[in-house]
Amino acid sequence: MIGAVGRRLLLAIPILVVVSLLSFLLIDLTPGSPAELLAGEGATPERVAELEQTLGLDQPIWQRFGDYMSGLLQGDFGTSLFSGQSVGDAIGAALPVTVSLIVVAYVLVFVIAIPLGVLAAVRRDTRTDRAISATCSFFLGIPSFVVALVLVILLALTVEAFPATGYKPLADGFGVWLSHLILPGLALALTSAAEVTRQLRGALVDVLEQDYIRTQRAKGLPPLLILGKHGLKNAAPPVLTVIGLQLARMLGSTVIIEQVFAMPGFGALTLNAVLQHDFPLIQGCVLVSAIAVIGTTVVVDVVEAGLNPRLRSAA
Amino acid sequence: MAMKALPLPTSPDGDVTDAVLTVTDLSVEFQTEHGRVRVLDGVDLQVPSGKTLGLVGESGSGKTVTSLAIMGLLDRRVGRISSGSIQFEGQDLAALDARQLRRIQGAKISMIFQEARRSLDPVFTIGDQIAESVRIHEGLSRREAWKRAIEMLQLVQIPDAERRAREYPHTFSGGMCQRVMLASALASRPSLLIADEPTTALDVTVQAQMLRLLRTLQEEMGLAILFITHDLGVVSEMCDRVAVMYAGQIVEEGDATQVFGHPRHPYTEGLIQSLPESAVARGRLAAIPGSVPPAHAWPQGCHFADRCRYAVDACRSGPIPLLSRDGSATRCIRADELSLAGVR
Ligand SMILES: Nc1ncnc2c1ncn2[C@@H]1O[C@H](COP(=O)(O)OP(=O)(O)OP(=O)(O)O)[C@@H](O)[C@H]1O
Ligand SMILES: [Mg+2]
């Protein structure tokens, strides 16, 4: 088991290297050089060339990549071209905002999707099931920024139940922290919740029709025990995979959601870095995202193996 | 439709034995694409306590539906008991609600199924699966329930029970899975076991071991068994009495040796003649022509008439009652005039 996790983590290293290399190449292929932007409009070509030299942009790409990698090995993510701040510090400042946002979103996904998915499965092919399924299709069909805007109009501007924008750290108090995260968290969560509800319903319907569920009924076990113990444990693996995949989706959505709610988070940081061609910062953001996504897959795999005795004995 | 209950079965010395389960005029309806369809049509059954009743019949005749109805396990969304009573230990199971039924399921009546491996939950250890029902039914502690699980595994002769209790179903063979199912079914010492084709999926030697084990445990525990199968050989080996089912009805019922030696319904005769050994003995394959009609297409009169070589006009004119005589019963109006061939 431990060995399997170790193997997965070792496997992640080449993936991260490839991801870094690809994003390096992509930045290189993008038209417009950061030096031009830095030099400002109307700067002479000489001035731009000089800046490119200071930034090391005149070096061939493989050399720049090599330098970057050796920096990484010493824990140095580089320095932002524009703010002069270290990339590590910039990300470190933005990350708590986004981590808070995603944690709240995940909690909401669980709170919404588990009861709805279970209800739809238990009441399969009834009006309840169809209503839940239709609601899911609706939320899967509309983009999260639209949800965000509607939520702001309804719950922040009209009812004034929650603040419309901004972020307050946890240090300011749990209530204050949470109240700033509910609306963006909800906007982020609804699409994922719809997806997870669907998956859970499908997996659970499958399980509930298995012979071993009939056996549990024949044993005289109460329905809630059958559902909660035998049903959910068997239905969990495919649902966990989908729950894990939501992290990548949410990370992508934070780029827009953090704009809508004016939150100084990781999504906003990434967006600015891209707009400014701030390549060390872009590199850092890509790397952190990749680590988060790969880390989630490893965690999901480990939990799934824990739930499935056949996988466990194979590992 | 048979309105009167069957006479109580009698033991060889003529004493009336009591029945642990008495099913009377049980009808079950399913919601299907053909509308509401009656798949059980007035079923009467009696399982003598401590004895085995075999329930035989072709695929689709309603054996599984009968057992699920008795257990209260019909899928409520599509199927329901539309009439009849299921008397068990002074209660009518057909009239109980789900909560009351749960006190009987797995405690006083247990069931084992054809596909034993698929009937065990793959993600829990077998010890856990046996223990959980005794915890519910008898309120045993975790430790006591686990002890009981191991005792039960030993009772069904699973070697190295303490270790195997901690293993998962996928590490067990089909025959071993059926033993585990049996251990779980008998853990709370039920008085009735319903076995729905428990050996059909097993190979011949494993099947023989399983039947032997069932008989041993039956004697030890005074267990009554409703044994469902379409294998007449197994019935004659296992059962004291036999009920023959065709298209949702019991067509013949009686002492097993009697029914096989002197069948009193043409369908029973057909089943006997479909046995490989009698086919060989007669030098021809005497299978019944055609197959069981689907429930929505059952005829008004005798359900078997269209496949019966003895059928006359009277057979088709209206419902045929189950007529009983001398502790056996037949649903054939020509039973007395026909002389049907039994097992020789
Ligand atoms: N859930 C259901 N919905 C509709 N019809 C059903 C349902 N379950 C069973 N039936 C019908 O009830 C009839 C009896 O089926 P049953 O499974 O009891 O037969 P069986 O005698 O057990 O056959 P087998 O030997 O194949 O197990 C069949 O006609 C079947 O189509
Ligand atoms: Mg069946």
- Using a CB–CB cutoff of 8 Å, tell me whether A234 touches chain B: yes
B55 pairs with which residues across the strands? B228, B243
Alpha-helical regions (H) of chain B: 63-71, 98-102, 126-138, 142-155, 161-164, 174-186, 204-221, 232-238, 256-261, 266-274, 276-282
Measured at the CA of B46, the angle between CA B43 and CA B50, to 5 degrees, comes to 150
pLDDT digits (tens, 9 = 90+) for A177-194: 999 999 999 999 999 999
* Cα distance between residue B240 and residue A248, in whole Å: 65
Crossing angle between the packed helical segments A232-260 and A174-208, to the nearest 10 degrees: 140
Interface of A with B in 176-215 (CB under 8 A): 210-212, 214-215
Domain ranges of chain B: 116-189
Select the residue from B76, B119, B180 to test the A interface by mutation, using most A Cβ atoms within 10 A: B119
B11 phi and psi angles, rounded to 5 deg: -80, 165
| pTM over the 0.95 mark | no
* Cα distance between residue B173 and residue A73, in whole Å: 52
CA atoms within 13 A on the CB side of A116: 22
The pLDDT of residue B5 is 46
Contact A309 B122 (CB under 8 A): yes
Element (H, E) at B31: strand B19-32
Residue A90 has pLDDT above 70, yes or no: yes
CATH level 2 (architecture), domain A89-272: Orthogonal Bundle (1.10)
Closest C-alpha among A21, A18, A15, A56 to residue A35: A56
The pLDDT of residue B340 is 86
Element (H, E) at A146: helix A144-151
Atom of ligand 1 nearest to the CA of B58: 25
Contact A212 B113 (CB under 8 A): no
Give the residue, out of B26, B37, B39, B246, with the most ligand 1 atoms within 8 A of its beta carbon, to mutate for a pocket test: B39
Cα–Cα distance list, B253 to B53, B71, B216, B293 (Å): 10, 21, 25, 22
Does B229 contact ligand 1 (Cβ within 6 A)? no
The shortest C-alpha distance from B222 to chain A (Å) reads 20
Please report the number of interchain residue pairs, chain A to chain B, with beta-carbon separation below 8 angstroms.
77
* Cα distance between residue B232 and residue B260, in whole Å: 9
Contact B106 A220 (CB under 8 A): yes
Q: A305: pLDDT confidence band, cut at 50, 70 and 90?
A: confident
The pLDDT of residue B17 is 56
Residue A172 has pLDDT above 90, yes or no: yes
Measured at the CA of B234, the angle between CA B231 and CA B236, to 5 degrees, comes to 110
Contact A218 B110 (CB under 8 A): yes
pLDDT digits (tens, 9 = 90+) for A59-77: 888 888 888 888 888 888 8
A171 phi and psi angles, rounded to 5 deg: -60, -25
Closest C-alpha among B218, B202, B317, B323 to residue B265: B323
Does B178 contact ligand 1 (Cβ within 6 A)? no
Interface predicted TM-score of the whole assembly (ipTM), two decimals? 0.89
Token output for A147 = 């949800």
Among partner residues A218, A223, A309, which is closest to B73 by beta-carbon distance?
A: A218
The shortest C-alpha distance from B197 to chain A (Å) reads 14
A2: Cα separation from own chain's centroid = 26
Does B291 contact ligand 1 (Cβ within 6 A)? no
* Cα distance between residue B328 and residue B316, in whole Å: 23
* Cα distance between residue B138 and residue A43, in whole Å: 87
Among partner residues B71, B120, B137, which is closest to A218 by beta-carbon distance?
A: B71
Over residues A27-56, the mean pLDDT reads 79
Over residues A12-17, the mean pLDDT reads 88
Over residues A32-56, the mean pLDDT reads 80
Q: How far is the CA of B114 from the centre of ligand 2 (A)?
A: 8
Element (H, E) at A73: helix A61-73
Chain B residues with beta carbon closer than 8 angstroms to that of A303: none
Low-confidence ranges of chain B (pLDDT < 50): 1-5, 9-16, 279-281, 283-285
* Cα distance between residue A226 and residue A118, in whole Å: 12
Q: A314: pLDDT confidence band, cut at 50, 70 and 90?
A: low
Q: With contact defined as beta carbons under 8 Å apart, do A28 and A61 qualify?
A: yes
Q: Minimum-distance ligand to the CA of B111?
A: 2
Minimal-distance CA residue of chain A relative to B78: A125
DSSP per-residue string spanning A239-297: HHHHHHHHHHHHHHHHHHHHHHTT--SHHHHHHHHHHTT-HHHHHHHHHHHHHHHHHHH
- Using a CB–CB cutoff of 8 Å, tell me whether A222 touches chain B: yes
pLDDT digits (tens, 9 = 90+) for A190-240: 999 999 999 999 999 999 999 999 999 999 999 999 999 999 999 999 999
Does B30 contact ligand 1 (Cβ within 6 A)? yes
Minimal-distance CA residue of chain B relative to A306: B123
Closest C-alpha among A270, A285, A99, A88 to residue A177: A99
Minimal-distance CA residue of chain B relative to A232: B123
> By three-state DSSP, how is residue A15 classified?
helix
The shortest C-alpha distance from A286 to chain B (Å) reads 38
Long-range residue pairs from B306-314, CB within 8 A, at least 24 positions apart, any chain:
B307/B267, B307/B270, B308/B266, B308/B267, B309/B266, B310/B266, B310/B334, B310/B338
Chain B residues with CB-CB distance to A under 8 A? 71, 73, 77, 98, 101-107, 110-111, 113, 115, 118-125, 132-133, 136-137, 168, 170-171, 181, 184
Give the residue, out of B32, B33, B38, B61, with the most ligand 1 atoms within 8 A of its beta carbon, to mutate for a pocket test: B61
Among partner residues B121, B181, B184, which is closest to A230 by beta-carbon distance?
A: B121
Residue A156 has pLDDT above 80, yes or no: yes
- For residue B224, what are the contacts with CB-CB under 8 A and spacing of at least 6? B20, B21, B47, B48, B49, B50, B51, B52, B53, B191, B192, B193
Q: Which letter, b or e, does each residue of B179-216 get, where b requires 16 or more Cβ atoms within 10 Å of its Cβ?
A: bbbbbbbbbbebbbbbbbbbbebbeeebbebbbebbee
Does B148 contact ligand 1 (Cβ within 6 A)? no
